[in-house]
A and B are shown apart, each in its own frame.
Chain A
Amino acid sequence: MSKTMTPELAPPRAVLDQDWGRIGRFGGLIALSLIFVALSNMPVSMETFDLIADQVTLGDVSLWWLLLVAGFAVGKEVVLEGMTTHARGPRDIVAGACTGAVAAAGLSVLAVLIDNFDLRDPLINWSPQTLEKLSLGGSVGSGVVLWLVAGAAIGGVGGSLHVLSERPRRLFVTMLVSVFLIAILETVLSDISEDIALEWLADIVYAKRGGLTIVGVVLVAVLSGAYSWWGRVRAQEAKERFQSLEGADRTRGNAIAFGLVAVATVVLPMVLGGITNELLANVGLFVLLALGLNIVVGLAGILDLGYVAFFAIGGYTTAILTSPNRGESWPDWMPDTPWFAALLLVMVFAALTGLFIGAPVIRMRGDYLAIVTLGFGEIIRLLFLSDWLGGYTGAAQGITNIPGVNVFGLTTVKGTNPQAVFYLVAAFCAVAIYVSWRLEKSRLGRAWMAVREDESVAEAMGINTVNVKLMAFVVGAVLASFSGAIFAAKVGSIFPTSFIILVSIVILVVVIVGGMGNIAGVIAGAVVLIGVLGGPKQPGLLQEFSNFKLLIYGALLIWMMLQKPEGLIPNVRRTRELHQEEFLQDAWLRGEIDTDADPSEGGVAPA
């Protein structure tokens, strides 16, 4: 906000000198969002989750945060160069309060409507429970009054953030977010604390029946506040120092960072509890899938919406080869192959499927290709489900009794031992990361990018575009099949329902949210989406959100597309491009650049 504040500020505007239209617009929008949230049943279904014991529930927060956003957003202003900028003051608090009140009024209207009309038929959450929640424990009338007051108060707090200077604002936000995060991560943090003998701390911070204790809130707020006030600047400096390293220093820095990550990957699972390891294993499965899809979509630019097909092929091939319970149509003499031996066949079969699906698809471009891959993804699942192949795949009954992975007779990796599963997945992820990293810089990687950028010119360069695209399909298919093979061994049984189209979509969202074409980004995307929110069938850290997972995915995707199209961890390549473009635009605005200047002179060289 105050990044480019002009030094000379005009005195604050009068309190009543408001942009009432803007307040109405923002209030109305937030009111609609509040009504949507209320009717999506978040407030009621999350009522049982105490954030602060007996005081604040997640249900309450699902509505409150929108009021805070309303109060803050209405006061946002772009500081225009060369225009008068007023200092912030009470006017902003009033604006926030008014917006909050308008939004709350909208919600109150919903309460009154629920009280008087019955629309439960189309709107299932148009219910007494919702009404009770919206009345805040009293009558509808008192609820309306309370909401207006609360809306104005919370909105006012949001607006007052503009009045605070940078540092205290950060302090406040950090404290608020920290308390929320610590409260919401109760399950996993308690789980971890048991393993590292910090149970006593967890007992102080968390109440027996769930939620933070008052002591816990104060403790977290003070600690995070202290970090924000004193530690943050130093952390920032350290980060900048690291980023400004060059040459050999940079290489050494990277090596150290890489080593730390590697050590953490090995050590953390030993410290973490079963639930957390289970989450990490799921994250790993999706990292593997997302890395594969990243090659297909991110590098080669082929929008594959049926990527789950290869995950399914990996899972089913493993199941059929290793389980004694494979479909009854297989000959009796078929041996129960050990997992690692089966993996070779899985790879071969996945690669063949990649070729088989890829060959017809690859000749298409753009939208058509996406639709056709979508179709193939479903066809594969329906084949596994069909009676025609039922004798081989178990149709809807699936294949059960898939044995775990016997690692050289040392140990057996299966679902009951999530820590071992995580190590197995991590090993495969390491391979996938290495392969992706090498491929990106290779001749084949360049050919993929050339095809992505301009297919006909790539062809004119002598690149066999069909072969190159098929290669991308095959490499992606093999990586996905690894994930499927581990998935089968981990879960111990597979059914066609594990391979619905939603899986393809989620993997794609992971790639997009993380940052297309970037390995670290893809991992970050998987951690955030799969680890925290949960996969299509896998529970995440925040199980309370599991019913709203898709809603949040969608909201996140839209927000990312609008605000951070380059992803959580942007590709250096793309950031560089953005910066250069900005630079060139700036230079052009200042009249310093002559785009088609004579090559021998002129033209500003962007550094």
Chain B
Amino acid sequence: MTDQTTATPLLEFRGVNTHYGAVHILKDVDLAIYPGELVCLLGGNASGKSTTLKTLLGMVTPTTGEVVLDGEVVNDKPTSYRVERGVTMVPENRRLFKRLSVKENLQLGAYLRTDKDGIERDLERIYEMFPRVKERLNQKSGTLSGGEQQMVAVGRALMAKPRVLLMDEPSMGLAPALVQTNFELIQQIHEEGVAIFMVEQNANMALSIADRGWVLQTGRVVLDDSADALLANPDLRASYLGDGKR
């Protein structure tokens, strides 16, 4: 883990407010993701998790406050600017380009890259990581099973050479057996030095691998602590970890 007091955050929110039309979604949100750490954002439905991701990626522009990438305010910069600088998203439910082949999906992940050799090398790396993906290169991604689609989705994101991977509900829609594998995969990517910002409903699982976490409630950050502290937090246990109900 990086020393947070001296390092510059890779990606940062400073007092961000966003609106959809007149509706106030994010309210004075402060976040900081440091290079190489694994953090997670927890929250129920309509708490603003997806909006946070979209704002980080530049698909939503904040009304006030600043989105900062490598110390530079990037409020006005398009998504492509941020993707080029290593901010990449694995969308919710994987959302592959279903009628395109697996290979085309992977190539699209590297859309903004121009280093042909580097792209080839990274393709090889993905094949090594997921031998099953290599077998299905020319197959339509929509015909793959859920687990394979998850591999392609992660592979597609890795093709962009990310420094921080934004993962929207990575375990959603996966069979229980796959959820564990998936978290192992996330940790593996993290160990290679990629920072991971994970938005999850599966709080137990997410916090067990994360360094730090935030809890978002109706657009406001209500808890901001280390993963261990969050796991021990009685309020959180009651509302997210299912203790109160069982």
Contacts and interface: CB of A to CB of B under 8 A. Distances in A.
Q: Do A and B come from one complex?
A: yes
A596 to B, nearest CB: 4
A258 B98 CA distance: 31
Contact of A460 (B84, B89, B177): B89
Size class of the contact patch on chain A: 20 to 34
B135 A596 contact: no
Interface string B171-196: 00011011001000000000000000
A599 B104 contact: no
B184 to A, nearest CB: 11
Interface in B34-69: 57, 59
B132 interface: yes
A569 B108 CA distance: 27
A598 B108 contact: no
Given A462-B79, A464-B78, A596 B147 contact: yes
Interface string A92-113: 0000000000000000000000
A459 B79 contact: yes
Interface string B84-98: 100001010001011
A464 B81 CA distance: 10
B83 A461 contact: yes
Contacts of B59: 456, 459-460
Given A599-B178, A606-B143, A457 B95 contact: yes
Nearest to A594: B145
B211 interface: no
A580 B98 CA distance: 13
B151 interface: yes
Name which of A461, A577, A580, A584 has the most chain B CB atoms within 10 A of its CB. A461
B95 to A, nearest CB: 5
A461 B160 contact: yes
B80 A577 contact: no
A457 B111 contact: no
B139 interface: yes
Contact of A580 (B104, B143, B160): B143
B78 A460 contact: no
A321 interface: no
Contacts of A237: none
Contacts of B135: 605
A443 to B, nearest CB: 7
A477 to B, nearest CB: 24
A491 interface: no
A574 B181 CA distance: 32
Interface string A433-444: 000000000010
B112 interface: yes
A594 B145 CA distance: 8
Given A446-B100, A454-B97, A461 B109 contact: yes
Contacts of B80: 462-464
Size class of the contact patch on chain B: 35 or more
B91 A577 contact: no
Contact of B175 (A456, A458, A576, A596): A596
B147 A599 contact: yes
Contact of B91 (A450, A457, A464): A457
A599 B140 contact: no
A595 interface: yes
A606 B148 CA distance: 13
B99 A453 contact: yes
B136 A577 contact: no
Contact of B147 (A463, A573, A598): A598
Nearest to B99: A453
Nearest to A603: B145
Interface string A462-480: 1110000000000000000
B108 A447 contact: yes
A605 to B, nearest CB: 6
Contacts of B174: 596
Contacts of A593: 145
Nearest to B174: A596
B145 A597 contact: yes
Interface in B148-180: 148, 151, 156, 160, 174-175, 177-178
B146 interface: yes
Contacts of B142: 577
A195 interface: no
Interface string B112-142: 1000000000000000001010011001101
A449 interface: yes
B3 to A, nearest CB: 31
B216 to A, nearest CB: 20
Interface string A573-595: 11011001100100000000111
Interface string A194-207: 00000000000000
Name which of B100, B101, B135, B146 has the most chain A CB atoms within 10 A of its CB. B100
Nearest to A580: B143
Contacts of A577: 99, 140, 142-143
B104 A449 contact: yes
Nearest to B150: A599
B108 A446 contact: yes
Contacts of B100: 446, 449-450, 453
B107 interface: yes
B99 A461 contact: no
Contacts of A597: 145, 147
A584 B177 contact: no
Contact of B112 (A454, A456, A462): A462
A52 B98 CA distance: 53
A449 B97 contact: yes
Interface of B: 57, 59, 78-80, 83-84, 89, 91, 95, 97-101, 104, 107-109, 111-112, 130, 132, 135-136, 139-140, 142-143, 145-148, 151, 156, 160, 174-175, 177-178, 181
Interface of A: 443, 446-447, 449-450, 453-454, 456-464, 573-574, 576-577, 580-581, 584, 593-599, 603, 605-606
Nearest first, the 5 A-B pairs at minimum CB distance are A462-B83, A596-B175, A453-B97, A462-B80, A462-B112
10 contacts: A446-B107, A449-B97, A450-B111, A458-B108, A460-B57, A461-B111, A461-B156, A580-B143, A594-B145, A597-B147
Given A447-B108, A447-B111, 14 more contacts: A446-B100, A446-B107, A449-B99, A450-B97, A453-B100, A458-B108, A461-B156, A462-B160, A576-B140, A581-B143, A596-B178, A599-B130, A605-B135, A606-B143
